[in-house]
């Protein structure tokens, strides 16, 4: 039976875009200060989840909300279940947007909004693919279940809770990465570095802040420094202006007598690809590290400004590692928190590591390398092991066949540092929705999704879901 998937998507373009815009208006950033029993990750992720599930209810699917942690939209019959995994939570919008990140705008064929490419846009494309198959009443031999999460960008607590209550699909994919396929994902672990904050000398670090999430390159940082004399503060001020002039960052400084407040703006990037950003916090630490701070501040600034600064592969810390198949370990320093009124500071180092090394090894080597600076280390957040589905698996073969037929391009396996819900299943992969050569704006200001790519992804998803479930 020949089905013109392009025709079916074209007939639903307006509805698809309207639904996506409504979804993008929901500010579904995790907010721990507003967590309640009804909103386990804050009201935003809950409302995004409910909005997505409401489309399934409207369109006659079987829908279940699992305690506002996650839910699913399902149809079809059979002993096996094909799982599709998307998420409605987003990373914080941050600064430097040209438009309101939660008021979606179409400009030059692109839809600008936080979540447009990660992951509300791709999720809507996959949902409409399911909707087409259902509305055409095509025969299936398997259940198709779209699992909707709300904590993918943080700790994956949504999926932990969901799978305590619901059965695990047999195989599937997540529309949360790129084409032609992602059938391997590196391990993902955050190592938290703690250093005492007490410091007393000619230069006193009172505060240092940078970064919003472990999986984002910090776009801004600020520090508050107190000096003994006005002359010292004057000299720092002049040196900071010179430092900004010769490096790929911008910034400013303000004076309050002998106290200087430094601000730096860098360039954001996804934490899985820190080499494409400019880490505002490490650049600021690198500048301050040249001054005679004492005790905890000296150690904090030296670790951040010398061992971590501009080192995206953990070489200075001694943890660099490369696997022939899965590639190179990467490191993102995503969160910096130093406050003299607290006992300890925090630097969060997020590692995407290949098979052949481990979180315990990474932690042990870091401790050996910088232990002399009074650090204490711990593993923080959700730790994910490396994941790989062989290219010969029928799931991978089918998805690559569909991609090749619809694009005319050769499909090859890919392994990435990013973590997707595809790794939730032993036979799980990531599949789209970003096409080769497209600009990646995930986790950045002015995030966008090219509308033609969105509709093209929906065509591919419809064909793929039908082939896997018919």
Copy the structure tokens of residue 398.
């089918």
Considering the chain, tell me which residue range(s) the CATH 3.40.630.10 domain(s) occupy.
5-186+386-469
Return the top range by mean pLDDT from 151-155, 211-215, 306-310.
306-310
Ramachandran category for residue 157: left, alpha or beta (phi over 0 → left; psi -120 to 50 → alpha): alpha
325-351 tens-digit pLDDT: 999 999 999 999 999 999 999 999 999
Is 412 a residue of the active site? no
Question: pLDDT band for position 239 (50/70/90)?
Answer: very high
179-202 tens-digit pLDDT: 999 999 999 999 999 999 999 989
Residue 380 pairs in a beta bridge with 190
d(CA 138, CA 144): 12
* Percent of the chain surpassing pLDDT 90: 95
Residue 148: predicted pLDDT: 98
Is 152 a residue of the active site? yes
Residue given tokens 């992804």 in the structure block: 457
Per annotation, catalytic residue among 19, 29, 89, 153: 89
d(CA 395, CA 169): 13
Residue 433: predicted pLDDT: 97
- Has domain 188-383 been given CATH number 3.40.190.10? no
Residue given tokens 């650049």 in the structure block: 283
Mean pLDDT score across all residues of the chain: 96
Residue 417: predicted pLDDT: 87
Q: Which CATH architecture fits 5-186+386-469?
A: 3-Layer(aba) Sandwich (3.40)
3-class DSSP state of 191: strand
Residue 2: predicted pLDDT: 87
Considering the chain, tell me which residue range(s) the CATH 3.30.70.360 domain(s) occupy.
188-383
Does the structure show a pLDDT above 70 at 1? no
Does the structure show a pLDDT above 90 at 399? yes
Residue 42: predicted pLDDT: 98
The more confident residue out of 44 and 383 is 44
Determine the Cα angle at 224 with ends 218 and 227, to 5°: 145
Residue 189 pairs in a beta bridge with 351
Does the structure show a pLDDT above 80 at 414? yes
Q: What's the average model confidence in pLDDT over 22-42?
A: 98
What's the whole-model pTM score? 0.81
Interhelix angle 43-58/120-135, nearest 10 degrees: 20
Residue 380: predicted pLDDT: 87
Does the structure show a pLDDT above 70 at 26? yes
On whether the CB atoms of residues 44 and 23 are closer than 8 A, the answer is: no
Closest C-alpha to 59, from 75, 46, 78:
75
Q: DSSP H helical segments within 136-265, as ranges?
A: 157-165, 230-245
Per annotation, catalytic residue among 152, 176, 178, 289: 152
Provide the pairing of β-strand 187-196 with 70-75.
unpaired
47-101 tens-digit pLDDT: 999 999 999 999 999 999 999 999 999 999 999 999 999 999 999 998 889 999 9
354-393 tens-digit pLDDT: 999 999 999 999 999 999 999 999 998 779 999 999 999 9
- H/E element, 449: strand 448-450
């Amino acid at each position: 039976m020949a089905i013109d998937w392009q025709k079916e998507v074209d007939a639903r373009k307006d509805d698809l875009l309207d639904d996506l815009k409504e979804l993008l208006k929901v500010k579904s950033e995790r907010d721990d200060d507003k967590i309640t029993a009804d909103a386990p990750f804050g009201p935003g992720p809950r409302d995004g989840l409910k909005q997505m599930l409401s489309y399934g209810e409207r369109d006659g699917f079987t829908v279940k909300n699992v305690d506002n942690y996650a839910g699913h939209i399902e149809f079809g019959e059979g002993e096996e279940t094909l799982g599709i995994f998307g998420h409605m939570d987003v990373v914080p919008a941050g600064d430097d947007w040209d438009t309101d990140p939660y008021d979606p705008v179409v400009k030059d064929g692109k839809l600008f909004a936080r979540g447009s490419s990660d992951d509300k846009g791709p999720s809507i494309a996959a949902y409409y693919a399911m909707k087409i198959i259902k509305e055409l009443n095509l025969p299936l031999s398997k259940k198709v279940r779209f699992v909707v999460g709300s904590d993918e960008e943080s700790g994956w607590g949504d999926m932990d809770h969901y799978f305590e209550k619901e059965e695990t699909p047999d195989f599937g994919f997540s529309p949360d990465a790129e084409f032609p396929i992602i059938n391997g994902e590196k391990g993902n672990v955050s190592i938290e570095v703690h250093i005492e904050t007490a410091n007393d000398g000619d230069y006193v670090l009172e505060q240092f802040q940078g970064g919003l999430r472990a999986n984002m390159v910090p776009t801004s940082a600020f520090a508050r420094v107190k000096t003994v004399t006005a002359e010292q503060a004057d000299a720092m001020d002049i040196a900071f202006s010179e430092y900004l002039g010769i490096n790929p960052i911008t910034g400013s400084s303000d004076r309050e007598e002998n106290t200087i407040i430094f601000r730096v703006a860098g360039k954001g990037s996804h934490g899985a690809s820190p080499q494409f950003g400019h880490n505002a916090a490490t650049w600021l630490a690198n500048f301050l590290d040249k001054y005679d701070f004492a005790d905890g501040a000296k150690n904090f600034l030296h670790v951040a400004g010398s061992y971590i600064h501009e080192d995206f592969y953990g070489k200075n810390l001694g943890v660099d590692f490369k696997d022939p198949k899965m590639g190179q370990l990467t490191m993102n320093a995503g969160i910096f928190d130093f406050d003299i009124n607290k006992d300890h500071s925090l630097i969060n180092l997020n590692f995407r590591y290949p098979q052949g090394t481990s979180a315990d090894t990474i932690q042990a080597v870091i401790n050996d390398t910088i232990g002399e600076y009074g650090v204490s280390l711990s593993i923080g957040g959700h730790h994910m092991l490396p994941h790989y589905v062989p290219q010969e698996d029928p799931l991978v073969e089918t998805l690559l066949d569909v991609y090749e037929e619809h694009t005319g391009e050769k499909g090859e396996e890919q392994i990435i540092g990013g973590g997707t819900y595809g790794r939730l299943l032993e036979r799980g992969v990531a599949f789209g929705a970003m096409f080769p050569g497209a600009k990646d704006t995930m986790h950045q200001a002015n995030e966008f999704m090219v509308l033609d790519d969105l509709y093209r992804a929906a065509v591919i998803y419809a064909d793929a879901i039908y082939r896997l479930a018919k």
